[in-house]
A and B are shown apart, each in its own frame.
Chain A
Amino acid sequence: MAKILEKRLIRYPDVFYYRINAPLISRKAKPGQFVIIRLHERGERIPLSLADINSEEGTISLIVMAVGKTTTEMSTFNVGDEILDICGPLGQPTHIQKYGRVILVGGGFGVAPLYPIAMSLKEMGNEIVVIMGARSKDLLIYENEMRAVCDKVLITTDDGSKGIKGVVTTALKQELEQSSANIVMAVGPAVMMKYVSETTRPFGIKTVVSLNSIMIDGTGMCGGCRVSVGGKTRFACTDGPDFDGHQVDWDILINRQKTYINEERGSFEAWKKRHVFAICE
């Protein structure tokens, strides 16, 4: 059981910030790792990345985008409510060292897990450029947090409502052409990470991506999260989630993410019929 200590709506109507009481996890967790939660007895197990770790207060933070049944149901959980199961920290931490100039690329909720990574990179003395993309300026998250730690913030919007008009790879390409980088790290939807990897490939810049395959146990027991990297089968939950983006077979990942699309839609619709829910902070 883990109690929700703080909840904020950080982007209307579907992205929420939670600070959760998890002293043991916070003691061990490192940027790039994740937890698996189960909301209640009938719930499924879903992975969520750590968006902040505070070992002194014994808390972790999660940023959750409501996309389907479980994440939407979680959005109805409020301060004081308890999440039945929380397991972690899982996965390998992102490798942090002095690289020099680092470009971080975040899309969707992916900007959130990049935040603790950016902080650790900063502590190691790296120069950090962050590229954050969204369809429109209202959909951006974590801009202020990122501005506080990064040396340069580039924003892209599909509709041009803020920053560069276009997608993250537009800005990434420009940035790499103007001044290079020692490493690129990307977190976001698989398609975005795929195109980020394609963009950096001709520049020969190492690109680390955080793979979000479907998971259950998160301990290497089921193999459901398997991905193909460099022609080898790897388990994203234990070997990853970080992998070399240039080696990933993206088509397999993107295809496998769709395995339960029909079932997921059905269960979400059924849930919405049975629940009236209001969004509150």
Chain B
Amino acid sequence: MTENNSKETILTRTPIPEQDPAKRRSNFDEVALGYTPEMAMKEAARCLQCKRPLCIDGCPIHIPIPQFIKAIKEGNFEKAIGLIKTASFLPAVCGRVCPQEDQCEKNCTLGKKAEPVAIGYLERFAADYAMQNRNGADVKIPKPTGKKIAIVGSGPAGLTCAYELARLGHKITIFEALHDAGGVLVYGIPEFRLPKRIVAHEINLLNEIGVEIVTNAVVGKLITIDEIMEEFNACFIGTGAGLPKFMGIEGENLNGVYSANEFLTRANLMKAYAFPEYDTPIKIGKRVAVIGGGNVAMDAVRTALRLGAREAMIIYRRSANEMPARKEEIHHAFEEGVQFELLTSPVRIIGEDGWVKSVECVRMELGEPDKSGRRSPIAVKGSEFKIPVDVVIIAIGTGANPILPQSTRKLALNKCGYIIVDEETGQTSREGIFAGGDIVTGSATVILAMGAGKKAAKAIHEYLMHI
């Protein structure tokens, strides 16, 4: 880079190549294509290498950001991934799905005057580079400690906890209810945002370092936590918040009404997009309405488009500013032709011969800010109207799944059914049993679940080495 163009380069970030919206709306290939080494080095050069790097404070797992970016700038990609891996087990995942704009990039010093450094894109670049250019585990495992730890649930919380503990020489067994490991990363987040081969690669690494994964094992049914504690020295619960919520409105049980979890599970985990080559069917709507405004809603609506819906829309009761989904996802959805019915709330779903025909909605106005600081929507009287649709997907959030808590003695839960833990250690009300991720916090993010898994791993290690 010459001094002449450095001013401009430093203000704007290097764009990441993306699949053309018109093309990508009908395939499941990844939307963002990733940096080339040249692009990555160019972007890395924008980093100011701050003495006091605030970006790190914004990352829940404290990745050494300036250090790895410096390595990329110097073209030393191996070193970059090595630095990232000291802190993170799933960089290829986080680089793709972390809400960077609210975390590391939000804090970036450069962001005060110009666009922040594209930390997420760089992390993704380093991880993908390593994946393509190296195979096998590069983790050294110390002598076995002889301690056995069970992990329940193979989402980001459980996987991270397993990785951290295995690296310390403990023997880890993961119990997963579904037939594939990965949690939301495999059943929820679609292929076009997070290719399944990436998750599979990371999980493979766990296998290589000796972690055993038992699939089709519903803890609470096949084996209880109490039985686990007889056989293992400690246990980590990372079962997520996978219980879908419904609205309780008329017509919710009509054919063609899905929870986002069901729709996405059929499409992702079961590969219904390849029906009938794969056996699981899915209803491909001509006009699809998705109710909700979060990441899950964006994933569902964009999946519906890709399956072949002619029109797909988001129905959200507040305005665009209040939408909890990542800006980038909303933007991508918009580019792909998703329609947005904002300040609109469904009142009932109307059917004909047992099938969805339309959804009756009411317009909303924003009132005073509520407890969360968001302005709460109020229905406008007499503004009811019908939107003709044949598939409705409900993406209004999830709760705690009761199978495990109900089958476990003396596990303290809060009134919503989430497990109560010590903030610092993830310790539950029972000795030797730790928990973290969505089953503690309610639906949150991949990185927070990983952070919780990591914290608990540290506490479990200390606990085991002192008893």
**Interface residues in chain A, defined as those with a beta carbon under 8 Å from any beta carbon in chain B:** 24-25, 28, 38, 42-45, 69-70, 84-90, 216-217, 219-224, 226, 228, 233, 238, 249, 252, 255-256, 258-260, 263-264, 266-267, 270-271
Contact A224/B259 with A217-B177, A233-B246, A238-B403 known, Cβ cut-off 8 Å: yes
Q: How far is the CB of B222 from chain A (nearest CB, A)?
A: 6
The reply on B261 being an interface residue by CB < 8 A is yes
In contact, A222 and B221 (Cβ under 8 angstroms): no
Residues of chain B having any CB pair with chain A under 8 Å: 177-179, 187, 215-218, 221-223, 242-244, 246, 248, 252-256, 258-259, 261-262, 265-266, 270-271, 275-281, 283, 354, 401-403
**Residues in A whose Cβ lies below 8 Å from that of B258:** 224
Choose among B178, B259, B276, B281 the residue that contacts A270 (Cβ–Cβ < 8 A). B276
CA–CA, A233 and B248, complex, Å: 8
How many Å lie between the Cα of A256 and that of B354 in the bound state? 8
Contact A221 B279, beta carbon cutoff 8 Å: no
CB neighbours of B223 from chain A (8 A): 24, 28
Docked complex Cα distance between A89 and B216 (Å): 10
- Give 14 A-B contacts (CB < 8 Å), ordered by A residue: A28-B222, A44-B278, A44-B281, A85-B216, A88-B222, A216-B262, A216-B265, A219-B401, A221-B401, A222-B265, A233-B246, A259-B283, A263-B276, A271-B276
Chain B residue, CB-CB nearest to A271: B276
Query: Which among B178, B242, B262, B281 is the interface contact of A267 at CB below 8 angstroms?
Result: B281
> Once the chains bind, are B280 and A216 in contact (CB under 8 Å)?
yes
**Minimum C-beta distance from B216 to chain A (A):** 4
B301 CB → nearest A CB, Å: 18
Q: Are B222 and A223 in contact (CB under 8 A)?
A: no
Q: Check B179–A255 contact: CB distance below 8 A.
A: no
Give every chain B residue within 8 A of A43 (Cβ-Cβ): 278-279
Known: A42-B271, A42-B278. 15 other contacts (CB 8 A): A28-B221, A28-B222, A28-B223, A87-B218, A88-B218, A88-B222, A216-B280, A219-B401, A219-B403, A222-B261, A223-B246, A224-B258, A258-B354, A259-B283, A267-B275
Are the C-beta atoms of B259 and A222 separated by less than 8 Å?
Answer: yes
B262 touches A219 (CB 8 A): no
Known A44-B280, A87-B218; contact A221-B255, beta-carbon cutoff 8 A: no
Contact A223 B279 (CB under 8 A): no
The interface residues of chain B lying within 8 Å CB-to-CB of A266 are 276
Question: Ordered nearest first, which 6 A-B pairs have the shortest CB separation?
Answer: A263-B281, A222-B262, A44-B279, A87-B216, A267-B276, A255-B354
Question: When A24-B222, A87-B218, A219-B218 are in contact, do A255 and B403 touch as well, CB less than 8 Å?
Answer: no
